[in-house]
Amino acid sequence: MPDQPSDIEIAQAAAIRPIGEIAERAGIPPDALLLYGAHKAKLDLSFCREARARPPGKLILVTAMTPTPAGEGKTTTAVGLADGLVRLGHRAAVCLREPSLGPVFGAKGGAAGGGYAQVIPMEEINLHFTGDFHAIGAAHNLLAALIDNHLHQGNPLGISPYTVSLGRVLDLSDRALRHVVTGLGGRTNGVPRESWFDITPASEVMAIFCLARDLDDLQKRLGRMVVAEDRAGEPVRATALGADGSLAVLLKDALAPNLVQTLEGTPALVHGGPFANIAHGCNSVLATTTALGLGGYVVTEAGFGSDLGAEKFVNIKCRIAGLQPAAVTLVATLRALKLHGGAERNAHDAPDSAAIEAGFANLKRHIANVRGFGLPLVVALNRFAGDRDEEVEQVRRLCEAEGAPMASCEAWSGGGAGAEALAKAIVQAAEGGGAPPRFTYPNDLPLWDKAERIAQTVYGAECLESLGRVRAKFDRLEAQGFGGLPVCIAKTQASLTADPKRLGAPTGFRVPVRDVRLAAGAGFVVVLTGDVLTMPGLPQSPAAERIGLNPDGSVYGLF
C-alpha cells in the first residue's frame, strides 16, 4: 500500500455520521427527511418550498481555468472551502452535481472530491446513489418510446419521422450507440428510422430536472418539450403525445434534493447532472435555493472552466432562477499553468517559471470572464505535493498584477484546515457581493448573435462559422418563436477554442458550429461546436477494468 491512502480508502475509513445529525446541523427538521439508509436522505419538497421562502445566504460559485489531463481539483476545492468556512465559525453547505457512470467507469473516475475533501458515502454517490439518473433515463426513454409507438400506431399527429429530435439516453460511455437505426425486423417492430443515444447528463430531461422549481413546474416543462415537427412544419410537443404526466410521475421522487455529508460533517446537497461541455452542467435549482434558505454560505460548482460551466451558470441558471452569487472561486494549479504555457505533460512537475508565465494567459482570460459577469473573485491555487513555494509566489504576483487576490488551497491533503486561507479570502470578497450578475447577452438578441457574443466575449474568438443549412436552422427556430431563449454552447472543455489541442489563450480564431438543438422545455437552445460528442466513448484502458469488490463486499478501484 502506498504511503498516501487512495481517495476511496480515505472515504471508507471515515467515521460517517448519521444523516439525522447532519440535518440537525443544517437546521433541517427530522420530518423533512426521506431516508435512504442511515447516511443518505432526500429532503421533502414541502420543506424545500419553506426554506426557499427565507432570506437567502451567500452563494459562492467555484469554477476553474481551462482543465488539463493533470486534473485541477475543482470539486475537491469546493468541498474543502465549505469545510474551511465551517472551521472559521460560519454556517455552510456545499451543493454539488451527481456523478455520471460514464466517467466513473471511463477515464476520469469518480466525482465526489478527493483526499481529505470528499463527500461521503463516496462509493454510493459515485454509483447508483438514490436512483435519480435512472429515473431521468427512464423518463427520457419513455418519451422516445411513445414517439415511436405513435408512428407505429398510425401517426395521427402527422409527425414527420425525419424531424424527430429526441434520441435515447444511457448513463454509460458507449460510442457504438452514437448513430443507430431503430425499428428493424419487420412491421411489428415499428417504423425504421435513424436515431442516436446521448449520455444521460446531456438529456433535455436532465436539464428540466435541474431547472425546475417544483413538481408543477417540472410537469409543465416536460410538456413543453418539442420532439418533432408535423408535416406542416409545426412543432410537436410532449403534451400532444400525452407524455407529460407519466414523465413527471417517474421523476417525482428524484426531484427531491439529496442530503449527504463531507468527511468533516458539513451538509452537502448532491443533486443534478454534470458535463458543462455538452449540457448546462450545474447543481439543481431546487438544491441550490434550498441550501441558500438554510442560511450562511452555500458553495456550489459549475463544470469545467469559466468559458463553460460559469458562463452557463450565469446566463442560464442565474437568469432562470434569479440567483445572485456573492463571489467566485477560480481554481488554478501550477500543473495546468505549465501545460498551457507549453510544458510537456510528463514534465509539468519540473521547475518551469517561463511556462508558468506563458500559461498565465489562460488564467488571465478566466479572470476577465468572471469580472465580465460582474462578480468578485479569488483565485484558488490548488497545491499538489511537490509544488514549489517560489512558483506559488510567482503566481501570486501575476494575480496581484491583475488585481485578483490569490489564496493557496491544500484541501486534498488537509481538508478544511487546508482551505482556511481560501475561506478567509472568500468571506472578504463576498462582503459586498450578492448583486445580480451581468449577462453576456440580452434576451432579445437573435440566437446566432447570442452564441457569437459568447464566443467573442468569453472565448476570445473572432466569430462563429457554419454551413448554410445550420444558419437556416437558427433562422427556423427564430421564426417558430424560440429566439428569446438563452443558448447553451456544447464545446470541448480542453480549450477556449473548439479545438482541444489549442491551449493557452488563443485569439482571432473561429468557432465552427455544426448543429443546433432546441430544448424548449428546459428553456434554451443547444449549439454544438467542433467535434464535441454528446455520447462519450471508453478509453483504451477504462477504469471499469480496475474496479471490483473486496471479500467483505467493499468496493475498490473507484479512484
Write out the residue limits of the CATH 3.10.410.10 domain(s) in the chain: 447-529
pLDDT band at 3 (very low <50, low <70, confident <90, very high): low
Q: Which three cell numbers stand for residue 162?
A: 425525419
Strand ranges inside 171-308, DSSP E: 180-182, 193-195, 197-199, 226-229, 235-237, 258-262, 267-270, 297-301
**Exposure string over 56-84, b if 16+ CB within 10 A, otherwise e:** bbbbbbbbbbbbbebbbbbbbbbbbbbbb
Q: Report whether pLDDT(362) > 80.
A: yes
- Identify the sign of the CA torsion 280, 284, 286, 291: negative
Q: Report whether pLDDT(2) > 60.
A: no
Average pLDDT along the chain = 95
Mean pLDDT along residues 305-313? 97
Is there a contact between 169 and 536 (Cβ–Cβ < 8 Å)?
no
Q: What is the CATH topology of the domain spanning 132-251? A: Domain 2, N(10)-formyltetrahydrofolate synthetase (3.30.1510)
Taking 3-state DSSP, the helix, strand and coil percentages for the chain, each rounded to the nearest 5, stand at 40, 20, 40
Mean pLDDT along residues 330-345? 95
**Look-up of cell digits 416536460:** 222
**Look-up of cell digits 476577465:** 368
Longest dimension (CA), the chain: 72
> Where does residue 544 rank: exposed (0-12), middle (13-18), buried (19+ CB within 10 A)?
middle
Among left, alpha and beta (phi > 0; psi -120 to 50; other), residue 523 is: left
Each residue's pLDDT tens digit, 255-308: 999 999 999 999 999 999 999 999 999 999 999 999 999 999 999 999 899 999
Each residue's pLDDT tens digit, 230-261: 999 999 999 999 999 999 999 999 999 999 99
- Crossing angle of helices 353-372 and 389-401, in 10° steps, is 40
| Angstrom distance (rounded) from CA 243 to CA 241 | 5
| Angstrom distance (rounded) from CA 60 to CA 427 | 10
The candidate with the shortest Cα–Cα distance to 173, out of 556, 539, 551, is 539
Integer CA distances (angstroms), 416 to 59, 80, 113, 419, 442, in order: 18, 5, 13, 5, 39
| Angstrom distance (rounded) from CA 496 to CA 368 | 13
**Strands 297-301 and 58-64: what pairing?**
parallel
Task: Return the number of other C-beta atoms located less than 10 Å from residue 19's C-beta.
Answer: 21
Q: Which three cell numbers stand for residue 334?
A: 501550477
The predicted structure's pLDDT at residue 4: 79
The CATH class, in words, for 7-130+254-432 is alpha beta
Mean pLDDT along residues 340-367? 93
| Angstrom distance (rounded) from CA 253 to CA 286 | 13
pLDDT band at 1 (very low <50, low <70, confident <90, very high): very low
Each residue's pLDDT tens digit, 472-520: 999 999 999 999 999 999 999 999 999 999 999 999 999 999 999 999 9
Task: Return the number of other C-beta atoms located less than 10 Å from residue 445's C-beta.
Answer: 16
The predicted structure's pLDDT at residue 533: 94
> Where does residue 250 rank: exposed (0-12), middle (13-18), buried (19+ CB within 10 A)?
buried
Task: Return the number of other C-beta atoms located less than 10 Å from residue 522's C-beta.
Answer: 29
Write out the residue limits of the CATH 3.40.50.300 domain(s) in the chain: 7-130+254-432
What whole-number percentage of the chain has pLDDT above 90?
93
The predicted structure's pLDDT at residue 107: 81
Catalytic residue numbers, as ranges: 74, 76, 97, 108, 276, 304, 384, 412
| Angstrom distance (rounded) from CA 371 to CA 415 | 29
- Identify the sign of the CA torsion 103, 196, 522, 245: negative
Mean pLDDT along residues 396-403? 97
Who's near 479: CB < 8 A, 6+ residues apart? none
Each residue's pLDDT tens digit, 95-132: 999 999 999 999 867 789 999 999 999 999 999 999 99
- What pTM was estimated for this model as a whole? 0.96
Task: Return the number of other C-beta atoms located less than 10 Å from residue 9's C-beta.
Answer: 15
State the amino acid at position 154 in one-letter form.
G
> Where does residue 191 rank: exposed (0-12), middle (13-18), buried (19+ CB within 10 A)?
middle
Mean pLDDT along residues 54-58? 96
The predicted structure's pLDDT at residue 467: 83
Under CATH, which number does the domain 447-529 receive? 3.10.410.10
Side-chain half-sphere of 355: how many Cα atoms within 13 Å? 20
Who's near 322: CB < 8 A, 6+ residues apart? 436
Return the SS3 of 527. Answer: strand
pLDDT band at 405 (very low <50, low <70, confident <90, very high): very high
Least confident of 68-72, 161-165, 392-396, 472-476: 68-72
| Angstrom distance (rounded) from CA 96 to CA 120 | 12
- Crossing angle of helices 132-152 and 244-251, in 10° steps, is 160
Is there a contact between 132 and 99 (Cβ–Cβ < 8 Å)?
no
Mean pLDDT along residues 205-220? 98
Write out the residue limits of the CATH 3.30.1510.10 domain(s) in the chain: 132-251
The candidate with the shortest Cα–Cα distance to 120, out of 311, 258, 323, 5, is 258
Q: Which comes out higher in pLDDT, residue 166 or 351?
A: 166
**What are the two backbone dihedrals, phi and then psi, of residue 50, each rounded to the nearest 5 degrees?**
-65, -45
Radius of gyration of the chain (CA): 23
Mean pLDDT along residues 412-417? 96
Is there a contact between 193 and 185 (Cβ–Cβ < 8 Å)?
no
**Look-up of cell digits 479512484:** 559
* Number of residues that this document lists for the chain: 559
The predicted structure's pLDDT at residue 70: 79
